[in-house]
Amino acid sequence: MVVHSSLLLTSLVLIGLLSHITETISHGNCEGSSRCTYVVRVRPPPNFSMDMSPMNLEDWYRSFLPPGMARSKPQSPFIHTYREAILGFAVNLTKDEAEYIKTNDGVLMVYQDNLIPLLTTHTPDFLSLRPNGGAWNTLGMGEGIIIGLLDTGIDFAHTSFDDAGMATPPAKWRGSCKFESAHCNKKLIGGKSLIGGENPEAPTDDVGHGTHTASTAAGRFVQGASVLGSGHGTAAGMAPRAHLAMYKVCNEQGCYGSDILAGMEAAIADDVDVLSISLGGRPQAFHEDILAIGTFSAMKKGIFVSCSAGNSGPLPSALSNEEPWFLTVGASTMDRQMKAIVKLGNGRTFVGESAYQPSNLASLPLMFELDDSENITGKVVACELKGSQVEIGQSIKDSGGSGLIVLGAENSGYTTFAAAHVLPASYLNSPDAAAVRQYIKTSNKPIASIIFNGTSLGTTPAPVVAYFSSRGPSTTSPGILKPDIIGPGVNVIAAWPFKVGPNRVDEHGMVFNSISGTSMSAPHLSGIAAIIKSAHHDWSPAAIKSAIMTTAYVVYDSKKPILDEKLNPAGHFTIGAGHVNPSEVINPGLVYDTDVEQYTLYLCGLGYTDSEVETITHQKGVCSKGTKLAEAELNYPSIATRASAGKLVVNRTVTNVGDAVSSYTVETDMPKEVKATVSPTKLDFTKEKESKTFTVSLSWDASKTKNAEGSFKWVSSKHVVRSPIVIF
């Protein structure tokens, strides 16, 4: 679920239903004769061919349906049919019909469809990506790479998606762009509209989320971009030379699993290189998770997947998207602030934020909350954040109010949002908000003014983890450290399909908005992955992820640790391996590679049955062969283990992707209560792509040590390859 600075999509309460056919369809209770959408996962017959024609595939899928439905030609009974993401189909069924299908020996799983929530001008510069002399000069800009996005659609006419200077799409592209209402080009090369079934309409964006994430990942250079004049600069995505394909699977209510699966199906078939997914729901067992199953198929095809960690922080164990075969991205701030200073009648001042920077608001009466019984004309209203900032402001404006102070919640710490407000406003962090509440309660005639001080760069500390960014440990696989990484996700300025602010005249094609959420951080990493893929076409998704994680930084500005929302040092369940460092990702020196077989055996080690593993991997009878892989033994660029164990001994394998002849020495950094050794202590390589295996041994007193964090690093003359260790 995305947390916008405007909070346009906040909460995404599971209301409103998608009707796939003319009869009443429910995604909730399927009692009696009412129909629900189900996804049916089937296993292939012995002589199955992936080259089966669509007509023959549909005929085979009909064989799983109850007799009355199977004879429904010529009209297809299916909403979606799949063959790339899974073998199976989405169909509307009564509960009795679903139970009938489950009795078929060829059926692996039947899932009731569910709604999954949707979870820039300065970020390139903050990440040292600069056109002249910066990392882009040596890294490239994602040329020849196709990024697919599962989202709310895209504004085809936005200037961020012009194709000036773009190369022709690669010959491998198998997608299409045949829309009457919109036109593609060499930047925006295609996509599909898949809500409630594939339809011929263009995947246009009537929400804003998809346009924003697409331009964050790969928008072209746009000079003079700003939000209502704030944050002025040159907008660019992380991979401005990469191509884009949009798969519209979400609307303002969220995204249904059957449509998400159809989006992954289309993206895999179209042969994208990177898949950016800024959505996610509650943690589920992997074999019950549509995202887990579809992304496993994408990974098998060599597609790198970047997913949002979720916006359920700062509580622990509230992650979305915990699977180890894709990158899970948390959100952090950057060093830009759009200042809106609140001055109270007692003389105290507090620096808040707003993207709308009108003339200063003179001192006016200050009141708390909207109260229908009290006249708010000409007053400043202080509100708790319960919904969209912009909508709250519009309500106050419509009622005659003159200003708005949004009060950060107690658990939100020092995170602030710069929304495109419709009236003079300021968002205050939690400590400052508490002071304003106290002032209103204790003053006989509270007053406040708002002074707008423009955009400042270089503010510190930065990066800081956003309060909403979901934290580990993982609930479904606690032995894998998640999130994997953090990246910019607060007040990100990127393309928007319609005008924002107080004067909403049409400025189609040149509108930008400032919004926040792990929905914003995930496409940053999608674009960075495209840069890596462009330089290393033969690297696997695991190798790309390793390069991102092992080059991340955990300290900044003279060795200061990255902080959390309360300005305390952030742990690895908050930042993963650290903050992405694009300057280093192309040449990490060593990578931890992982193949499909390892992931499959890891699933066996988690205790999944043969049937459940087959549901995820398409492989039959794997676990009954007796080979399993413990979580800690997965060749992952990090280590996480329970404190109650008292010890851990694991192997890791690194592959040389740096100089053919190179030597690395290990360095460990663990608290004194943990004994850590790595054997051997030195790795000597004599050729490219040579692999070496080593053993990490950890021991501690389980009765005394409950939490400990540290790392080990392989260090050469050119590289530092860092892996975090967490004992919890």
Question: Between β-strands 647-656 and 691-700, what pairing exists: parallel, antiparallel or unpaired?
Answer: antiparallel
Task: Work out the burial of residue 341: count CB atoms within 10 Å of its CB; fewer than 13 is exposed, 13-18 middle, 19 or more buried.
Answer: middle
DSSP H helical ranges for 498-609 = 518-535, 541-550, 572-575, 582-585, 596-605
Please give the Cα distance from 53 to 50 (Å, whole number).
9
Dihedral in degrees, nearest 10, Cα atoms 267, 273, 277, 281: 80
CA angle 617, 620, 624 (to 5 degrees): 110
**Contact status, residue 473 vs residue 479, Cβ threshold 8 Å:** no
The three-state secondary structure class of 535 is: helix
**Contact status, residue 575 vs residue 463, Cβ threshold 8 Å:** no
Single out the catalytic residue among 125, 151, 259, 593: 151
Maximum distance among all Cα pairs of the chain, rounded to whole angstroms? 82
Centroid of chain to Cα 166: 26
Please give the Cα distance from 353 to 418 (Å, whole number).
5
Is 519 annotated as catalytic?
yes
The three-state secondary structure class of 146 is: strand
The three-state secondary structure class of 489 is: coil
CB proximity list for 157: less than 8 A, separation 6 or greater: 182, 508, 509
Please give the Cα distance from 658 to 54 (Å, whole number).
45
Task: Work out the burial of residue 701: count CB atoms within 10 Å of its CB; fewer than 13 is exposed, 13-18 middle, 19 or more buried.
Answer: exposed
Amino acid of residue 114? N
CA angle 303, 579, 272 (to 5 degrees): 15
Single out the catalytic residue among 519, 540, 662, 723: 519
Is 209 annotated as catalytic?
yes
Question: Between β-strands 230-235 and 222-227, what pairing exists: parallel, antiparallel or unpaired?
Answer: antiparallel
- Token readout for 285 is 């067992």
**Contact status, residue 318 vs residue 557, Cβ threshold 8 Å:** no
**Contact status, residue 147 vs residue 240, Cβ threshold 8 Å:** no
Q: How many residues does the chain have?
A: 728
Single out the catalytic residue among 20, 80, 122, 209: 209
**Contact status, residue 560 vs residue 461, Cβ threshold 8 Å:** yes
**Contact status, residue 383 vs residue 528, Cβ threshold 8 Å:** no
Please give the Cα distance from 174 to 192 (Å, whole number).
13
The three-state secondary structure class of 656 is: strand
The three-state secondary structure class of 555 is: strand
- Token readout for 413 is 């710490």
Is 151 annotated as catalytic?
yes
The three-state secondary structure class of 695 is: strand
- 334 closest CA partner among 527, 489, 209: 489
**Contact status, residue 97 vs residue 112, Cβ threshold 8 Å:** no
Please give the Cα distance from 354 to 391 (Å, whole number).
14
Centroid of chain to Cα 290: 16
- From first CA to last CA, the distance across the chain in angstroms is 27
Active site residues: 151, 209, 519
